[in-house]
Structure 1
């Protein structure tokens, strides 16, 4: 075989191997420095990741996880050393490129019963430490934290995943606060060193904000806006403070990080309250008020 033919087969083998590698994560193309990622097969890729190499044996079943969660005390201190906040202002595209590794999807594996086995994207979470401490909303774990809620028999495991398809078991919930709609939890990093997001400070009205979250069916979506209002839902409870903003989010964005112009996390998505023109049909939706939890609530529970 001459060198030319051998070179052809070597290049072909490289293409096949690269295609196989990309197929296990998030398929992507690049055009002029812009990356086009294929998210259409994401849930199938995550299901494949769970079943490859007996990975599921690492995971706690959702019933076992619920037993652990019900023993957690509300507002228990969390021992985590936060990443130092960044000082240099960044362009929006720099913020997203540098922080996307710190944003995870919260997912469920549903066993085959009434329907086929599948993985669903559930919410968003943020990495706070290299060794796997993360934060999301209280309501994301609501069915686990409420002893009176019965689990869906199809629910088998709850886990998180990175954008590249790497899956991580949720090992335990560390703390939570209902009023702040937040919950800290720990994942098994499976030997990986995670990239924590730097944590900043609360922002005043008029400040620019940037959000990277996972609206249902549209993972890793970026929106931006400003802080529109700062309010308290209960003047006697500092955990009830909220930052309202104009950046869009939707179902699945729960737990998503709101960042300042330096890429520091300054708040976390909580909920939407709709304002209608009428309380009777036709309702005529006029405005959605987006409520978020400021990071001052996180700092009240963090030791480190």
Structure 2
């Protein structure tokens, strides 16, 4: 028994030493989830923020004019997937409603807990213009949200956080919203937007925050292009095979050159016709870049 345990402990020591010697990967909980709550709480306490009620006055389904955006020129040089991740992740942001909890503890003191519901977005103008989904913003401004209505925040990859100051434009039919933050003179990293829609078979990349896996990278291709009827009219949809999930709403879809070619909007689970509990496929739908450019240049 003594001879058996000795090599066993040696193996444990070797494993512990190997793990200890490795460089630790990012810790999503501490680097982003906790940091988002802490930094949002600081903004709320300072008080210079736009609440859900105030932002609601700027937010509507349609009726916006064109807006002035300093769009970057399209990139034309093919990039490796690693280079695409490096480029996109700097301009990809976390967009989240945040609010102090109304809960009261046993001592009668109000809780200091901050509620957040992180989604995705991306910067298209270095002076602080951010794109996300309409449904991400509506989840903040409408009063059915009772737990996180103090501020809508945008957090960068390095942890820098900004409160949203304005809604510049929005389009419920195309599930797009364009927001303004104040970078206080700092030039932010921004993505270029493709001026020509992608074709079926084109490569597609995405950096987003699915279910709290912040700054996750996925790749695939354009699998379909179709139009669908919504209450507000028809809209164009670009389906891709790159994975995304809840938390990815508002993320940029990127081509092989590093240009935005679409924006995440929804997923739809396709069931077997004879067995509703059997999933056959998940449709991953995005709004093509042409719809975003039309909103910017023409309004709605």
- TM-score bracket for this pair, using the shorter chain length: 0.7 to 0.9
Give per-residue Cα distances to partners, 1:249-276, cap 9 Å, x unaligned. Answer: 0001001111111111100101011111
Partner of 1:12: none
Correspondence 1:271 to 2:266: yes
Partner of 1:285: 279
Work out which of the residue numbers 153, 156, 163 in structure 2 matches 1:169.
163
Q: Give the CA deviation at 1:207.
A: 0.7
Give me the whole-angstrom Cα distance separating, in 1, the residues matched to 2:294 and 2:274.
38
TM-score (norm: length of structure 1): 0.80
Give me the whole-angstrom Cα distance separating, in 2, the residues matched to 1:265 and 1:55.
35
Give me the whole-angstrom Cα distance separating, in 1, the residues matched to 2:237 and 2:95.
23
Correspondence 1:122 to 2:118: yes
Give me the whole-angstrom Cα distance separating, in 1, the residues matched to 2:85 and 2:132.
19
> How many residues in Structure 1 have an aligned counterpart in Structure 2?
268
Give me the whole-angstrom Cα distance separating, in 1, the residues matched to 2:43 and 2:98.
16
Q: Give the CA deviation at 1:296.
A: 0.3
Give me the whole-angstrom Cα distance separating, in 2, the residues matched to 1:166 and 1:87.
30
Partner of 2:93: 104
Q: Where in structure 2 are there 5+ consecutive unaligned residues? A: 1-20, 104-110
Q: What is the CA RMSD across the aligned residues, in angstroms?
A: 2.7
- Work out whether residues 132 and 187 of structure 1, in 8 Å CA contact, stay in contact via their aligned partners in 2: yes
Q: Give the CA deviation at 1:54.
A: 7.8
Give me the whole-angstrom Cα distance separating, in 1, the residues matched to 2:289 and 2:95.
20
- Work out whether residues 234 and 241 of structure 1, in 8 Å CA contact, stay in contact via their aligned partners in 2: no
Partner of 2:53: 63
Correspondence 1:89 to 2:85: no
Partner of 1:199: 193
Partner of 1:46: 36
Work out which of the residue numbers 146, 154, 158 in structure 2 matches 1:152.
146
Q: Give the CA deviation at 1:107.
A: 1.5
Go from structure 1 to structure 2 and tell me whether the alpha carbon gap of 1:75 and 1:45 turns closer, same or farther (over 3 Å shift): same
Partner of 2:240: 245
Correspondence 1:185 to 2:174: no
- Work out whether residues 52 and 141 of structure 2, in 8 Å CA contact, stay in contact via their aligned partners in 1: no
Q: Give the CA deviation at 1:189.
A: 1.4
SS in structure 1 opposite 2:211?
A: coil
Partner of 2:4: none
SS in structure 2 opposite 1:216?
A: helix
Give per-residue Cα distances to partners, 1:191-239, cap 9 Å, x unaligned. Answer: 321111011131110111111111121010100001100101149x996
Q: Give the CA deviation at 1:299.
A: 1.2
- Work out whether residues 132 and 194 of structure 1, in 8 Å CA contact, stay in contact via their aligned partners in 2: yes
Give per-residue Cα distances to partners, 1:72-97, cap 9 Å, x unaligned. Answer: 85343121121111111000000011
TM-score (norm: length of structure 2): 0.81
Work out which of the residue numbers 278, 289, 292 in structure 2 matches 1:298.
292
Give me the whole-angstrom Cα distance separating, in 2, the residues matched to 1:136 and 1:158.
12
Correspondence 1:222 to 2:211: no
Partner of 1:77: 66
Q: Give the CA deviation at 1:55.
A: 6.9
- Work out whether residues 82 and 128 of structure 1, in 8 Å CA contact, stay in contact via their aligned partners in 2: yes
Partner of 1:211: 206
- Work out whether residues 205 and 217 of structure 2, in 8 Å CA contact, stay in contact via their aligned partners in 1: yes
Go from structure 1 to structure 2 and tell me whether the alpha carbon gap of 1:130 and 1:271 turns closer, same or farther (over 3 Å shift): same
